[in-house]
Amino acid sequence: MSNYSQNSNGLNISQNKLLKKDNYFLHAGLFLITFVTATIAGMEWTTGSLGPFEFELLSKGLPYSISILTFLSFHEFGHYFAAKIHGVNATLPFYIPFPPIAGFLNFGTMGAVIKTKTPVQNNKAMFDIGAAGPIAGFLACLVILIYGFTNLPDANYILSIHPDYFSPEYGKDALSLEFGDTLLFAFMRFVFTTPDQFVPPMSEIYHYPYLCVGWFGLFVTAMNMIPVGQLDGGHIVYSMFGGKIHERVAQVFMSFLIIFGFLGVADSFLGTAFGIGWAGWLFWAFILYIVIKVKHPPVYQFEKLDSSRMVIGYISLLILLLSFSPTPFIVSF
């Protein structure tokens, strides 16, 4: 997950601690470790093997790791540079590596985060910092997806991973992972592919690094754009409409997350066939309620946003609609 947060009043943290300089070795080290774990994840996705890998296979993981770190960097540095423009002291991105662990879905990273070290004084700055990250990351996703869809390999690629892919017996009695479609992903698939070429189904796109990263980027963007608390979407809606409207909107979205979560639990563990929802949304709602909180902390100065910022705000909410999948992961036997 990618996010930034701020201290709501800045009075209970010493000035020396607030303005402590970045530890460049820590940021660089986390970046390099994340690059390694993401490259390993890329080798797993593209080869269909869980390792151990020979050094010669490193190149197979690089398209994935470079793409996913590009997306995360665009998102986080969007926040970072917007903060700098408004005179808000912020850290460089902390990249969060995720090593391969048996039984866990491995994207090689849990995202990245920056931390604001001085308070954001007004809602205009809050809006600009909040919107810059997801918009920059979303644009990076678009480029990655366009490249992925316009450079799809032929069917021999999937056959090199699953030689029996076109066999009637393929996938029977085996665990299947399918990524949930989104409005944008489906639209780009329609626009940039042709009926005469092999287009991987959603159950196979994780073998295609650019499509996998593009989908993952949309998923992360949607998670961050949910207008709750200090998520990016929460910053945006609070800055546009104020605390009261933000709280109502946040409660509505929390309700949707809980509903989708319970539907996912019912399908996964009770054998129902709603066909929508994901148990992970219930866990995400719990994290939002306990850790990130539903309400947005107030800023020192609040004033009506200008029309250009309001338009950007509505575009940001459209990004949420285009990127969100109520059922992002479908696991079946």
pLDDT in tens, the chain (333 residues): 555 555 443 333 334 454 567 788 999 999 999 999 999 999 988 887 777 777 777 888 999 999 999 999 999 999 999 999 999 999 999 999 998 876 667 889 999 999 999 999 999 999 999 999 999 999 999 999 999 999 999 999 999 989 999 988 887 777 788 999 999 999 999 999 999 999 999 999 999 999 999 999 999 999 999 999 999 999 999 999 999 999 999 999 999 999 999 999 998 888 888 889 999 999 999 999 999 999 999 999 999 999 999 999 999 999 999 999 999 998 876
**Helix (H) or strand (E) segment spanning residue 286:** helix 279-287
- Reduced to 3 states, what is the DSSP secondary structure of residue 187? helix
Query: Residue type at 93?
Result: P
**Nearest one of 290, 259, 231, 330 to 6, comparing CA atoms:** 231
- Bridge partners, 4 (sequence order): 114
Give the pLDDT confidence score for residue 7 in this predicted structure.
Answer: 47
Amino acid occupying residue 166: F
C-beta of residue 222 within 8 angstroms of C-beta of residue 321: no
| Residue 45 vs residues 42, 55, 106: alpha-carbon distances, Å | 5, 16, 9
- Alpha-carbon gap, residue 200 to 221, rounded angstroms: 23
Pair 305, 312: CB distance under 8 Å: no
Q: Which of 186, 226, 205 is nearest to 317 (CA)?
A: 226
Strand partners, 176: 332
pLDDT of res. 300? 94
The C-alpha atoms of residue 223 and residue 329 are separated, in whole angstroms, by 14
Strand partners, 177: 331
Give the per-residue pLDDT at 9: 38
Q: Are 68 and 213 in contact (CB under 8 A)?
A: yes
Q: Which of 257, 266, 230 is nearest to 114 (CA)?
A: 230
Tokens of 31: 């970046």
Contact 207, 294 (CB under 8 A): no
Q: If you search the block for the tokens 């190149």, which residue do you land on?
A: 59
> Cα separation of 212 and 178, whole Å?
11
